[in-house]
């Protein structure tokens, strides 16, 4: 079968890498892709916001299945348009993608269907939002309702910070995303990323992961899209996985079906593991980036078969198997990220890093210039390794990072620290 993958980041390189190994695949295309993806797919020079152009490309290349990586095209309804044109798609419809597209929609759904999450209220004006903030006190969390590229959340440790965040959002600091605001209670616990494939009726739990959102070592500095990740997340014991499926994922699927918006695709639950159990921080309607990079390294079964199962409503009879090894990815970002990253700096040594056993270097924001790989985004590479333990995967990943010659880039040096500390305290069983 001929497949088109939409997107061009590290997540899509990892998806392309896994899809390209499928026995079901004839040709893989990717729009817009990147130089790493170009090694395993034909890059399609089409504008993915132009759905008619995407459909025309599919017809021209006899593409029968489209896999959508990022959220923006899903929220814009690309899955609906492809389905109307008779093309099978992995990814939710526009109305189902509201689980990510509107935080208020998700919070209301949780309230109605008793899905555990932080207490909250929704506001469309600053006055009542500030009254609520004063009543609740700090710490408190202020969230723009709409998509804000991972930057729409202010975790306010003081009342002044919270009130300033309310003003900033209503004054347009988050653009249209902040016209409506959710104010919610601050939760404490360890965070985990949980993924489930969904076919509208059934959910299949995938592996767990943990992400590092802050830009600096020791989880300091501003939030980013994610500076590194590892899988599995030791905090997610089998009991917690089952509780997450029973208390959060399956009720969400049932609720979405009841609302006439069956969810098909991958449901990415950001969880807080609190003293009372797992609670939902937020939903995304796509794979996490860089979580996807570590999941793909650990997936034993054929990715294309699983994604087709989700699209076809066949997950009830399917399972996903994972390698026992841990995987860990270190994001290398261009200096300046998450502010204004420096573009165009030359990166060398990727092949040397890739030659290490158990290592893949996924391209996230790269371009080719005069035959050399150059930085073309904030997060630029996801250097990914496997190992018997997270500690081993971490050692190999940093060995690979050190083989990359890129003075214009930087990375955190402590990705995986929670798991490494746990393994140090209680060495993993062989
Ligand atoms: P989100 O974009 O909703 O995942 O939020 C970004 C980050 O803000 C999360 O990864 C958490 O670290 C933090 N966060 C969001 N909501 C809460 C909450 N209710 N309590 C504590 N931390 C939160
Ligand atoms: N790494 C977090 C995300 O993809 O949203």
* Structure confidence at residue 180 as a pLDDT band (50, 70, 90): confident
Question: Given pLDDT bands bounded at 50, 70 and 90, which one contains residue 430?
Answer: very low
Ligand 1 site, residue 141, Cβ cutoff 6 A: yes
CA angle (292 as vertex; 64, 249 as ends), nearest 5: 85
Rounded Cα gap, residues 209 and 322, in angstroms = 13
Is 114 domain-assigned? no
Q: Is 358 left (phi over 0), alpha (psi -120 to 50) or beta?
A: left
| Distances in whole angstroms, Cα of residue 22 to Cα of each of 10, 27, 280 | 19, 10, 33
What angle, rounded to 10 degrees, do the helices at 250-258 and 103-112 form?
100
Which of 317, 350, 382 represents a domain boundary (last residue)? 317
Note the ligand closest to the C-alpha atom of 148.
Answer: 1
Q: How confident is the model at residue 13 (pLDDT cuts 50, 70, 90)?
A: very high
- In this prediction, residue 364 carries a pLDDT of 98
In a domain, 197, yes or no: yes
Q: Of 128, 158, 185, at which residue does a domain stop?
A: 185
Task: State whether 309 and 245 are in the same domain.
Answer: yes
| Rounded Cα gap, residues 113 and 122, in angstroms | 17
pLDDT in tens, 332-350: 999 999 999 999 999 999 9
At residue 115, does pLDDT exceed 70? yes
Return the CATH number at 82. Answer: 3.40.50.20
Closest ligand 2 atom to residue 284 Cα is: 5
Residue with the nearest Cα to atom 19 of ligand 1?
186
Final residue before a domain boundary, out of 76, 93, 110: 93
Measure CA 413 to chain center.
Answer: 21
Residue 214 has a CB neighbour count (10 Å cut-off) of: 16
Q: Which tens digit of pLDDT belongs to each residue from 188-240?
A: 999 999 999 999 999 999 999 999 999 999 999 988 999 999 999 999 999 99
CATH code of the domain in which 248 resides: 3.30.470.20
What tokens does 245 get?
A: 């499926």
Q: Which residue, judged by its Cα, is nearest atom 3 of ligand 2?
A: 288
pLDDT tens for 25-53 read: 999 999 999 999 999 999 999 999 999 99
Overall domain count for the chain: 4
Ligand with smallest separation from the Cα of 191: 1
Token reading at 164: 């300033």
The Cα 267–Cα 280 span in angstroms is 12
Q: Is the CB of 191 under 6 A from ligand 1?
A: yes
291 Cβ inside 6 Å of ligand 2: yes
Do residues 253 and 201 both lie within one domain?
yes
Quick one: 341 and 398 in the same domain? yes
- Ligand 1 pocket test, pick from 153, 182, 219, 268 with the greatest ligand atom count within 8 Å of Cβ, gives 153
The token pair at 212 is 């590092």
- Give tens-digit pLDDT for 126-136: 999 999 999 99
Residue 276 sits in the same domain as residue 204: yes
C-beta 139 within 6 A of ligand 1: no
pLDDT for residue 427 is more than 60: no
Nearest to 323 by CA among 300, 357, 345: 300
Length of the chain, please? 430
* pLDDT tens readout for residues 261-298: 999 999 999 999 999 999 999 999 999 999 999 999 99
d(CA 393, CA 396): 5
Between 429 and 379, name the one with better pLDDT: 379
Domain that holds residue 312: 190-317
For residue 2, report the distance from its CA to the centre of ligand 2, in Å: 28
Rounded to 10 deg, the angle between the 417-425 and 390-403 helix axes is 130
**Nearest-angstrom CA–CA distance, 388 and 391:** 8
Number of the ligand 1 atom closest to the C-alpha atom of 185: 19
Closest to 247 in 3D by CA, of 266, 222, 221, 273: 273
Is 156 in the same domain as 217? no
Beta strands in 2-110 (DSSP E): 2-7, 27-32, 42-43, 63-68, 88-90
Average pLDDT over residues 347-366: 97
Nearest ligand, CA 225: 2
C-alpha distances (whole Å) from 288 to each of 295, 370, 429 are 10, 32, 29
Looking at every residue in the chain, the average pLDDT score rounds to 95
SS3 273: strand
Over range 130-144, report the average pLDDT. 94
* Minimum CA distance residue for ligand 1 atom 3: 282
3-state secondary structure (DSSP) of residue 347: strand
225 and 293 both lie in a single domain = yes
CATH no. for residue 382?
Answer: 3.90.600.10
Closest ligand 1 atom to the C-alpha of 211?
10
Residue 73: its H or E element: helix 71-75
Q: How many CB atoms lie within 10 A of CB 398?
A: 19
């Amino acid at each position: 079968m001929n497949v088109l993958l939409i997107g061009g980041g590290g997540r899509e390189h990892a998806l392309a890498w896994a899809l390209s190994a499928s026995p079901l695949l004839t040709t893989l295309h990717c729009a817009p892709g990147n130089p790493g993806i170009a090694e395993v797919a034909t890059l399609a020079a089409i504008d993915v916001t132009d759905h008619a152009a995407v459909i025309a490309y599919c017809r021209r290349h006899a593409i029968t299945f489209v896999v959508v990586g990022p959220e923006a095209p899903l929220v814009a309804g690309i899955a609906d348009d492809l389905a109307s044109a008779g093309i099978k798609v992995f990814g939710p419809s526009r109305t189902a993608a509201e689980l990510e597209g509107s935080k208020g929609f998700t919070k209301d759904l949780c309230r109605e269907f008793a899905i555990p999450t932080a207490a909250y209220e929704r506001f469309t004006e600053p006055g009542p939002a500030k009254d609520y903030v004063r009543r609740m006190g700090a710490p408190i969390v202020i969230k723009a309702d709409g998509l804000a590229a991972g930057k729409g959340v202010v975790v306010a440790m003081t009342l002044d910070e919270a009130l300033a965040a309310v003003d900033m959002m209503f004054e347009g600091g988050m653009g249209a995303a902040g016209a409506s605001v959710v104010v919610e209670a601050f939760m404490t616990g360890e965070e985990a990323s949980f993924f489930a494939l969904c076919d509208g009726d059934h959910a299949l739990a995938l592996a767990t992961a943990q992400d590092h959102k802050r830009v600096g070592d020791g989880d300091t500095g501003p939030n980013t899209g994610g500076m590194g990740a590892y899988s599995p997340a030791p905090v997610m014991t089998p009991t917690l996985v089952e509780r997450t499926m029973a208390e959060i994922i399956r009720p969400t699927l049932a609720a979405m079906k009841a609302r006439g918006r069956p969810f098909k695709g991958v449901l990415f639950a950001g969880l807080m593991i609190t003293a009372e159990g797992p609670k939902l921080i937020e939903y995304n309607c796509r794979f996490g980036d860089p979580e996807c990079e570590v999941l793909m390294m650990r997936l034993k079964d054929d990715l294309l078969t699983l994604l087709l199962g989700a699209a076809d409503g066949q997950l009830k009879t399917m399972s996903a198997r994972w390698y026992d090894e841990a995987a860990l990815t270190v994001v290398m970002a261009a200096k300046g990220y998450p502010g204004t990253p420096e573009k165009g700096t030359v990166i060398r040594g990727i092949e040397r890093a890739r030659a290490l056993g158990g290592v893949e270097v996924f391209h996230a924001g790269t371009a080719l210039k005069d035959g050399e790989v150059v930085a073309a985004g904030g997060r630029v590479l996801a250097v990914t390794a496997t190992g018997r333990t997270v500690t081993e995967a971490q050692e190999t990943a940093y060995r690979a990072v050190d083989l990359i010659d890129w003075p214009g880039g930087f990375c955190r040096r402590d990705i995986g620290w929670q798991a490494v500390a746990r393994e140090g305290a209680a060495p993993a069983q062989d």
